[in-house]
């Protein structure tokens, strides 16, 4: 469960996120949509504990993102939009390192499992800096899955993938959504229609739609609704 109440973030005089309130139940794939600059990434960073809100509250699995940030991070796997990596590290070295940050003992079986799960195998002998954009995305997702969190926050996870990789990544997200709560930010409407059960649309820092996907489709289609509420 994710519960957000009046969450607000400002950068100087600019209000990036303006009193957002919503709830997401477990075992759900939720599409987070909005124009560029709408506040999607800022919202994700606050939910992940990487950015402090100016006011309001957010809780993940019952833990407050400010007061209990370390417990929240145990429950979340986060793939940020820019996916920062250590280019000098080999893939397995990086995953062992990230596991250690989560307090995990070096677990080769878990490492190999997430490598297989994300399709990193063919490139897993390389350094991260030698990987294509698509495989760097896979490495980012692998680290997000490493500690088997119940919640995944994925900011543009399919960015830079070729058509074959795109299909594989979508299938993986769909499978993960059967047992985990997934918040998925994307600009691809088709991706939302394929993967998501519920949709949150943010515009200028405010929620302008918060509905099950079928309800938005029934209103005239997701893309038409998006255009109408983000004018």
Q: Hey, where are the domains in the chain?
A: 2-82+151-229
So what's the pLDDT on residue 2? Answer: 94
Label residue 122 exposed, middle or buried (CB < 10 Å: 0-12, 13-18, 19+).
exposed
Strands 206-212 and 198-203, by their bridges, are antiparallel
Low-confidence ranges of the chain (pLDDT < 70): none
Decide if domain 2-82+151-229 falls under CATH 3.40.50.300: yes
Helix (H, G, I), strand (E, B) or coil at 93: helix
So what's the pLDDT on residue 39? Answer: 94
So what's the pLDDT on residue 87? Answer: 95
Listed in sequence order, the residues at least 6 apart from 16 whose beta carbon sits closer than 8 Å to its beta carbon are 9, 10, 39, 42, 205
The verdict on pTM exceeding 0.85 is: yes
So what's the pLDDT on residue 98? Answer: 93
**How many other CB atoms sit within 10 Å of the CB of residue 58?**
24
Which H or E element spans position 171? helix 163-176
Measure the CA angle with vertex 223, ends 227 and 141; round to 5°.
Answer: 110
Phi, psi of 89 (to 5 degrees): -90, 145
So what's the pLDDT on residue 99? Answer: 92
Phi, psi of 18 (to 5 degrees): -120, 90
């Amino acid at each position: 469960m994710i519960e957000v109440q009046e969450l607000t973030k400002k950068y100087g005089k600019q209000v990036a996120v303006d009193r957002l309130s919503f709830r997401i139940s477990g075992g759900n794939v939720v599409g987070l949509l909005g124009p560029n600059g709408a506040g999607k990434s800022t919202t994700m960073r606050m939910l992940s504990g990487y950015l402090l809100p100016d006011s309001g509250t957010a809780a993940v699995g019952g833990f407050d993102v400010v007061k209990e940030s370390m417990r929240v991070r145990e429950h979340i796997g986060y793939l940020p939009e820019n996916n920062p990596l250590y280019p000098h590290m080999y893939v397995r070295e990086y995953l062992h390192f990230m596991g250690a940050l989560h307090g995990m003992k070096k677990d080769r079986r878990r490492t190999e499992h997430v490598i297989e799960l994300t399709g990193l195998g063919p490139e897993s002998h390389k350094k991260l800096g030698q990987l294509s954009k698509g495989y760097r995305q896979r490495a980012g997702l692998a680290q997000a899955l490493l500690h088997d969190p119940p919640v995944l926050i994925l900011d543009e996870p399919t960015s830079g993938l070729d058509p074959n990789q795109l299909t594989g990544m979508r299938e993986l997200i769909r499978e993960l959504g059967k047992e985990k709560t997934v918040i998925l930010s994307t600009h691809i409407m088709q991706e939302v229609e394929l993967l998501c059960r519920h949709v949150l649309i943010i515009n200028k820092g405010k929620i302008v739609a918060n509905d099950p996907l079928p309800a938005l489709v029934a209103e005239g289609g997701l893309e038409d609704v998006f255009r109408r509420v983000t004018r």
